[in-house]
Amino acid sequence: MNKLCATSARYLIMITLCGVVAFINAQVPKGTVIVDSLYSAHLENDYGEHPTRALSVYLPPGYEGGTDSYPVIYYLHGFLNNHELWPEMVEVLDFAIANHRIRPFILVVSDQRTTYDGSFYSNSGLFGNWEDFTVFDLVEHMDKNYRTIPNRNSRGITGHSMGGYGALKIAMRHPDIFSSVYALSPGALAIAREYGPNSNTYRELSKVTSTKQLSETYFPKVIVAFAKSWSPNPDKPPFYCDIPFAYHNEELVVKEDVLQKWYKNMPLYMIDDYLDNLRQLRAIKLDWGRNAGDRFTIQCEMFSQRLENVGITHFAEEYIGTHVSGIFTKDGRVPNQMLPFFDHYLDFSAQ
């Protein structure tokens, strides 16, 4: 009888705890996601990239029916991704506000998945000027159509992987628009490992002769996306771009003029030309997972070391994880590192 009572008591406690947890979760104020769209003349092109792009805009709890204005975090998505804010991502944003990791804010992500799987937030010319779309059209649209605080000190830029690359590059080039940047596990910072000339990537790419073949690869597909972003060429079908490294009869061929174009678009090699801009930023941070793979860890370490060598104050953190683990989770990077970073460095006052 005593055992039965004890068991019943344990079940009662468990049920009560579950009820408490459910009640607490139900009390978390919910933000709203608006799916918007934006046409951009900067994206007009003859190669199949649509100039009207979808946007997802996260509006904090209390936005509807209120009058307050908010800072905006511009989130740049990764390669193969798009503008969609999945329910678990929105839950993390709500969680961060409810748990005082950050004051209420607006977050926007635009669809920059292209026919070649990612714009790399760059002005290609041939395939569209995605940097100009992001910096000028998207920011103007947000300031005109939402209750933003329309100044640089209330704008932060961030993103994961390709988006982390885009965030660093755009912040370096436009400190008059964005005041602070946090790059989550950025890629494409430098030519190293799988992006380097002595990797198997370019040997594999030398055997690819069609878009269908290319779609069945990964690293060659990334390299072509780089090239369409940084060294497009309308006279080079089927991919319409130039690539700095090639293999002919197993012999490496380096195209120096193309390589220089890539250097002008990869943040490690841009640092010296943008020192004054980097000094104008309020704060810079990048992080990377220890187990993300050499191409990420080495590039991030190289970039941070170079910033340190030229006297640019910044934060850099290696954490235990992979390239994709623990980003938009309640114990992950977004609510515990990225959003608190912006809470500290963005202005939340409309004055």
pLDDT in tens, 122-131: 999 999 999 9
CB of 281 closer than 8 Å to CB of 171: yes
Q: What are phi and psi of 104, to 5 degrees?
A: -55, 140
Hey, what are 111's tokens? 């669809």
Q: What is the band of 174 on the pLDDT scale with cuts at 50, 70, 90?
A: very high
On the CB side of 55, CA atoms within 13 Å amount to 25
Q: Does the bond joining 238 to the residue before it have cis omega, within 30 degrees of 0?
A: yes
Hey, what are 260's tokens? 């220089």
Which pLDDT score, from 0 to 100, does residue 23 have?
Answer: 46
Domain 30-190+267-345, classified CATH 3.40.50.1820, yes or no = yes
Residue ranges, comma separated, of all CATH 3.40.50.1820 domains in the chain are: 30-190+267-345
- Each residue's pLDDT tens digit, 7-33: 555 555 555 554 544 444 557 899 999
Give ∠ CA 109-73-49 in degrees, rounded to 5: 25
